[in-house]
Every structure is written in C-alpha cells, then in structure tokens.
Chain A
Amino acid sequence: MKIGFIFGHQQPGVKSWLREVIDLLRSWGVDVGEIYPGRGLIDLSKIRIEYDLYVLKPSDSDLALSYAGILHGLGARILNPYPVSAMLRDKVIATQKIQRAGIPVPHTVAVLKEEQVRELLDTGPLIVKPYRGHLGQGVRLIRSPDDILPLDGIHLAQRYHQPDGLDRKLYSIGGRVFGVLRKFPAHTYEEKMGTPFTVEPDLLSLVKCCGDAFGIDTFGVDVIISDGKPYVVDMSAFPGFKGVPDAATRIADYLTCYLDSVTLNPAPSCLVQPGAGT
C-alpha cells in the first residue's frame, strides 16, 4: 500500500499533525512518499503514477495543484481530487457552487477595485477576502470606507453577518462529522484549537450538503451563525482539522481503510475473506 502526499514548498514540521499522520501510516506498514513539486526541476515527461493514493495538501503553491492535475489526467487516485481542490482553491467558483447547491452563504460579490467595495458598503459592513486566499490570510472586516485597503487582484466581498457566538469549524473525515467552536480571529494556541462541540442536526445536514455538492467526504467548512441562521463562509478540501480530537489518527485510519476498500476489494475472481472468528 503506497500513499503519496503532495505538498507545496514547505515540509510539515516535526510536531505538525500531518507529520503525525505520516509517521502513523509508516508505523502501520504503509509506504508513504512526500512529494514537493516546488523543489528542484520537474520534468513533466517523467511524471508517473507511483502511489495507490495521493493526498494533496492544499497550500499557496499552484505548482502542487498543477502536479495533482497532471496525476489526475494520468488517472491517479487522489483523495481530494484535482478538480475539487482546484474549485475550492478559487473562492469565486467555490462560493457560487455552494450557493447553487442551496446552501446558505452570505451575499457575495466578486470585486476588483476599492470603489466597488465602497459602493457595497452603503448597505452594511463586509468581509473582504482574496479569491485564492489561504489560512485566513488577507481576510478583512470592512465597516467604514476608512477600513478599505488597496486591492491586489480579485477579491470576494461578502455581506458581514454579526455572529451570534463563536465560529463553527465543521470537519468531515470520511463522512464522520466533527465540530469545533473557535474564536475569530484566533491568536493563542488555545484559541486556535477551539473547543469540540456536538454538531446539531441542521449543521450536520449542511455539512453533508457541502460534501455532496463537491462529491467529497473529507473536507472542512467554516460556518457562522447569525440571528440563529447558519451561513457557510468558507470550505476547504483538506484542512488542518485543528481541534478535532485525535485528528491525525482519524485521518490515518480513514486513509488506510479507504485504500483497503478500493485495493483489497476483490476483482470478480478474487475472494478476500476476512473471516468471522476472532
């Protein structure tokens, strides 16, 4: 069993959760490869499928995404498939797709110029974020024209809804949903880890709808509740799962079981018999 992780430039740190996933998988006998397309030269003619499963770690590296795209074209099995990862990387496309699936999102407009933001401000405060943003970078709350900074490229301007409480970070790992309450913006380690909570039935079905909209079962969704109504404000294909207890173990567990289900599941002539007796 071989799993390849596609990273941007940065190697996961010794204490990072993804390093924990990789170490766990290796201790379970999985052959794990770490692929850094951003390092060194990539001979496009030499890219081959070398792993049973790939996991694309979304980052700010477009090269990693392109690399995943090439593998996708070759027929590789990618946990967070290239088309979905590419769509979710582009918040304009992702937001529109979420909206079209009937999932509540704040009123959203794609903007290029400061004047457009100023115009939208007339009807209330906004959240402005870069359309290919990552890890909350560049997200700004605009309450007055004084808050507007020069825009560098395409941004999304979303109607700001005053949250009733903390943000809801919702994660799905292989269809199993976890919720974490988190302050925004989070500064301390404790704030970043948040507090696990029991996801209510309405939020649960909202998460499932998000997954169905993109055809994935491992992802993260950011939700705010305003006036008792939930709004999806962001979605990512393979987030950090921060605050989910035992997230690394759960991801490693899911990856091996997923791969077992697709590789060990017998061809018609093969009978894999796990047997009943223990």
Chain B
Amino acid sequence: MKAVIFGTGRAAGGFVAPMLHAAGYEIVFVARGLGLCEHLNRTGCIEILLVDGPIRKKTLIEGVRAVEATNQDALSRELVSADLIATCVGPSNLPSLGVVIAPGLARRKVPVNLIAFENCEDAGSILRRAVAMAGGQVKSHGFASGLIHRVICRRCWYRDSDTPIRYIADPESKCEIEVVGLKAPMPTVSGMTLVVDHIAAVRRKFFTYSAAHVATAYLGHLKGYCSIHAALQDQEIKRIVKTAIKEGQQGLDFFYGAGFSGGKAERKRICKRLSNGALRDTVARVGREPLRKLGGQERLIGSASLALLANSKAKSLSWVTAAALCYFDPNDASSCQLRAFIERYGVQHVLHIVSGVKPDQEFVSRTIQHVKQLRTWSHSSHLITITPLLWASQSRPTAAIAG
C-alpha cells in the first residue's frame, strides 16, 4: 500500500506520515522545494519525537520518499498507483492543489480516497472543488476532511546534513475523518475515527482545545510569559482558561447534545496537554495571526457565539477576546495590522468587520470595556494580576482606543 502526502510540514510529518506508516503504507511526500525533496530522498526517513514532560519517545519512519511538487510526470505516476492521498498544506493552499492532482487522478483506473487534513470545516469539499475546477475527475473518488488533534510544535531540518527531519510533538493520537465523502474501500487505519458530522468535530476541537490554547497564549502574553506551559502554571490564567473552555462546552452541548463536549474530564485533559512543557510551545507561536484567530467561525468568537446561544454570558471568552485584541508582537504582521485597525476604527468596528459580531451584543460591550481597561498596556509592560488589573510597570499609554 502506498500513501502520497502533499506537504512536509508539521502535520504531514508529525502525524499523518507516522499514522499511515504504522498502518502499513509506504510514504511518499510531495515536497515544495528541491532542497527538501532531495534531503528526504537522501535520508530516506523522518524522525518523530513525542514528548510528554520528562517522557520522550523517538520513532524513526523509514523508507520514505519524496517527489517535487512541480515535477508533474513523477507526481502523476505516484498518484496513479497510490492507495491513499492525503494533504496537509494549510487551508489557504488547498485550492492550488487542484491543478497538481487532477492529471494524476485522470490516469487512474480505480477510485482512491483523498483526505484533506486541514484545520478547517470543509477541507474535503474545497479540495474536491479545486480538482473539479482543474478539469479533474471527481465523481469516482472520495474526498473527505481529516482532523488532527496532535500538537506538532516544531520541525527541525538540517539542510545539508544526513540527519533526518525531526518533528517534535505531543503523544495525542486522536484523528477524525469525515466518513461521508469517502468511497469504498474505506481506509483502515488505527487511530482514525470516522465521523458523520465533521463540522461538529472541528467545532469541538476549535471551541475547546484550540480556544484554550490561544486563550493561554493571549493571557500569557498580557502577563509576560514566554511559553504556554508556564502561562498555564499561573493559577489566574488557568482559572480563566478553564472557564473559557467551559463556556465553549456549554455552547457545544446546547447545539449538539448533552455530553458532546466531554465536560469536566475533557477540560482536565486539555489543561494537562497544554501543561506539557517538553513541547516548548511558545506564546508567540500560538498567539500569532490574531486577525485570523478572531474570525467569526474561529476558536474565540465562534465559541462565544455558540455559548451565547446557550444563554452563557461568555465572560471569560470576553476577557480572552479582549486579550487577543490587545495582542501585539512586532514580528507578527497580523498583530501589527490588528493594532492599526483598532487605532483607526475602534474595537467595536473591528469586532464587527473581523469577527462579524453584532455591535449591540452584551458580549461586545463587555469586550470593549475590557480592552479599554487594558488600553494602557504596551509592548514593554505586563500584568501582575488581571483581576484586579495590576501592572508590573507604568508605561506611556498607547493611543486612545475608541470603543
């Protein structure tokens, strides 16, 4: 059996490849860039380092190959004989895969399943549309979305050496695949759970784990922490993060049925995962791109919207949203843009445009209030406590932020 995986990034190498390799698939990566492709072919393997506190487990995935994404002939040959095709290229890159995949699929005599492992609700459909638009045959093939729960925080690539590319990740092995889009025969892969409602699965991940992840980052940033595990060690942050997850869970349970979100046990599990210091996951990595993360369907606002439907006040999510709106990292273009937007248009307008939240909501007014409280915050200062607001040092107030 052979699996062709588009992408060599963290999800591709840190989760999909080892999962499929363990299920007996030969792994062929489709790499962007000749250097990476040559490196994979030279070393013939990748290394996965699963870390959980002091526990470390190293696995070498041998017998991997790679083809360069622009080498259409070689790629088509691999696609023709593949038993499974997976993509892990990021949602924004999915549409461009259509023209790359279509020629290979056209030459196939038997159907194949394509699984898009992307962090979005409808990755399988996007991929299907992209292939169809490129003139590819889509009816006989399966297109499904895949959801990875593992955190792969780092990829280390020693370009000119014979050292395998190393992926550092947590041991989480949960993976959910949308069953609706798949064609028989179904892939049988250990660790893969087939789900009917993929959107529900994505929301469950986004509004619990992902929300907690960014909440820790944004609150951690306010309090001057560098890493996620350290920020969560701060009891005040932990309390807000736990409540934020709970609010998201209230919305999920209201919408999808009692018990869907996993309740207290899941909150505990999430906090334990975020406390995994061996990942060295940083506030800067998790907090980056706040503009995207403040999107209406995303982890904070999406979670709050659902919570509000369940009659929750979403008070903690409001604090976290305010912290996200105040997030600033000069190395992150999105946060610079966000700050400029807020200074120019005001928080309410930004929340309306970026997040699609109606201005008349109590959640919005509460969030604006929090942002106003935080407005003296600047890159050089940080909080000692959030309630009450106690700054470690005084700094010049940033430009007045309009409501």
Contacts and interface: CB of A to CB of B under 8 A. Distances in A.
Interface stretch (B63-71, B228-236, B301-309): B228-236
B285 A269 contact: no
Contact of A249 (B152, B230, B285): B230
Interface in B41-64: 51, 53-56
Given A178-B392, A256-B227, A26 B54 contact: yes
Contacts of A28: 53, 229, 277-278
B154 A272 contact: yes
Interface string B266-307: 000000000001101010011011000000000000000000
Nearest to B154: A274
Interface in A228-278: 245-246, 249-250, 252-254, 256-257, 260, 264, 266, 269-278
B255 interface: no
A69 interface: no
Contacts of A260: 280, 282
Task: Give the secondary structure class of B's interface.
Answer: mixed
Nearest to A25: B277
B226 A269 contact: no
Given A178-B392, A275-B9, A249 B157 contact: no
Contact of B155 (A30, A174, A179, A273): A273
B224 A176 contact: yes
Interface string A157-193: 0000000000000000010111100000000000000
A146 B90 CA distance: 78
B231 to A, nearest CB: 8
A182 to B, nearest CB: 15
A199 interface: yes
Nearest to A274: B285
B86 to A, nearest CB: 16
A201 B395 contact: yes
A70 B79 CA distance: 61
Contacts of B154: 264, 272-275
A27 B277 contact: yes
Interface residues of B, number: 51
B344 interface: no
B239 interface: no
B391 interface: yes
Interface in B153-170: 153-161
B225 A278 contact: no
A256 B277 contact: yes
Interface stretch (B177-185, B310-318, B382-390): B382-390
**A176, A200, A271, A274 interface centre (most CB from chain B within 10 Å):** A274
Contact of A269 (B160, B234, B278): B160
Contact of A272 (B155, B225, B227, B395): B155
Given A250-B230, A257-B227, A275-B155, A176 B382 contact: yes
Given A269-B159, A272-B155, A29 B285 contact: no
Contacts of A27: 53-54, 277
Nearest to A202: B394
A253 B392 contact: no
A151 interface: no
B390 A198 contact: yes
**B53, B230, B285, B286 interface centre (most CB from chain A within 10 Å):** B230
Contacts of A29: 51, 53-56, 277-278
A260 B119 CA distance: 27
A273 B157 contact: yes
B393 interface: yes
Contacts of A176: 224, 382, 392
B6 to A, nearest CB: 15
A92 interface: no
B10 interface: yes
B210 interface: yes
Report, nearest first, the 8 A-B pairs whose CB atoms are least far apart: A28-B277, A29-B278, A253-B230, A257-B226, A199-B393, A249-B233, A274-B285, A271-B157
Interface of A: 24, 26-30, 174, 176-179, 196, 198-201, 204, 245-246, 249-250, 252-254, 256-257, 260, 264, 266, 269-278
Given A269-B159, A273-B154, A278-B214, 18 more contacts: A24-B233, A30-B277, A177-B392, A196-B390, A198-B393, A201-B394, A245-B385, A250-B224, A250-B230, A256-B226, A256-B227, A256-B230, A270-B157, A271-B159, A274-B154, A274-B282, A277-B119, A278-B213
